Amino acid sequence: MNPLNHVAIIMDGNGRWGMKYKNSRNAGHKAGLNTVEKIIKETIKNKIKYLTLFAFSTENWKRPKKEIDYLFNLLENFLLNRIEDLHKKKIKLKILGSKKFSPKLNKLLNNSEKKTSKNSKLQINLALNYGSKSELINAFKKIKKNKKAITEKNIDINLQTKKIPDPDLLIRTGKTKRLSNFLLWQLAYAEIFFEKKLWPSFNEKDYNRIIKEYKKIKRNFGKI
Ligand code: IPE
Ligand code: IPE
Ligand code: MG
């Protein structure tokens, strides 16, 4: 049975779910938040130590302002309402991506990270305004600035995911089979599951089914 230490998820399909059932993309984002809560609970139950959630990509700025505003408002309210409970559950929150949001949201994100920084039951990495290519470029720039060699280790420790083990399992909901600029370096050896269901319809049962399948896979890492 494969150990499972880190699950990464591309939470895709909110907009389509919202249009199908409520005639509103934003309703899909709201419903997607319920799935986030369910999956956090289930991740703890499964004793998984790291959960990385792709919530907003550097490319998502190309969306209509109304949708972007709605998403960040949702996030702000989520943190305001839930951070205390996440802290009680010993969850550590880390933001991946550059925090270039409103001063209010930046502060809330910083405070949430600070407040939960000593927790160790589960680390949730929330990828927000995250793009893997720009993360890699920044890592190379830092290596160059410090006059270090380009090695695998030096790249690892200059990424935002330094100290976080690479994901063992990547799940992308919402039918499409692509990485959309998510953790390109870190996913080198991840087991990848593309799930047809849209994110708001994804549930504990689906998650546990994938975990069960993952555990049975023969992971070679180049060996035989
Ligand atoms: C994923 O759902 C959430 C974000 C990118 C913020 P989408 O909003 O991409 O949903 P679809 O793919 O349009 O259905
Ligand atoms: C990927 O979904 C980003 C997130 C889930 C946050 P997108 O819906 O933005 O991806 P593309 O544009 O379809 O590749
Ligand atoms: Mg999408």
Q: What is the DSSP string of 3-41?
A: ---EEEEE---HHHHHHHHHS-HHHHHHHHHHHHHHHHH
Q: Please name the residue whose Cα sits nearest to atom 8 of ligand 1.
A: 15
Q: Is 12 considered catalytic here?
A: yes
57, two tokens: 């990509």
pTM: 0.98
Q: Is 26 considered catalytic here?
A: no
Tell me the residue type at 102. Answer: S
Could you tell me what percent of the chain has a pLDDT over 70?
100
Q: Choose the catalytic residue: 46, 60, 138, 154.
A: 60
Q: What confidence tens digit (pLDDT) does each residue in 118-129 have? A: 999 999 999 999
Q: What confidence tens digit (pLDDT) does each residue in 8-57 have? A: 999 999 999 999 999 999 999 999 999 999 999 999 999 999 999 999 99
Could you tell me if 96 and 126 are in contact, meaning their C-beta atoms sit under 8 angstroms apart?
yes
Scan for tokens 């190379």, then name that residue.
140
Right CATH for 6-216 from 1.10.10.10, 2.60.40.10, 3.40.1180.10, 1.10.600.10: 3.40.1180.10
With a 6 Å cutoff on the Cβ, whether 11 touches ligand 2 is yes
CB environment 187-196: b (16+ within 10 A), e (fewer): beebbebebe
Q: Which ligand 1 atom sits nearest the alpha carbon of residue 71?
A: 6
Question: Quick one: pLDDT at residue 64?
Answer: 98
Question: Quick one: pLDDT at residue 197?
Answer: 98
Beta-strand runs (E) in 105-201: 122-130, 169-172, 191-194
Domain regions of the chain by residue span: 6-216
Quick count: other Cβ atoms within 10 Å of Cβ 161?
Answer: 24
Q: What confidence tens digit (pLDDT) does each residue in 68-95 have? A: 999 999 999 999 999 999 999 999 999 9
- Taking the C-alpha atoms of residue 202 and residue 205, their distance in angstroms, rounded to an integer, is 8
Ligand showing the shortest atom-to-Cα distance for residue 14: 1
162, two tokens: 């330094």
Question: Quick one: pLDDT at residue 195?
Answer: 98
With a 6 Å cutoff on the Cβ, whether 57 touches ligand 2 is yes
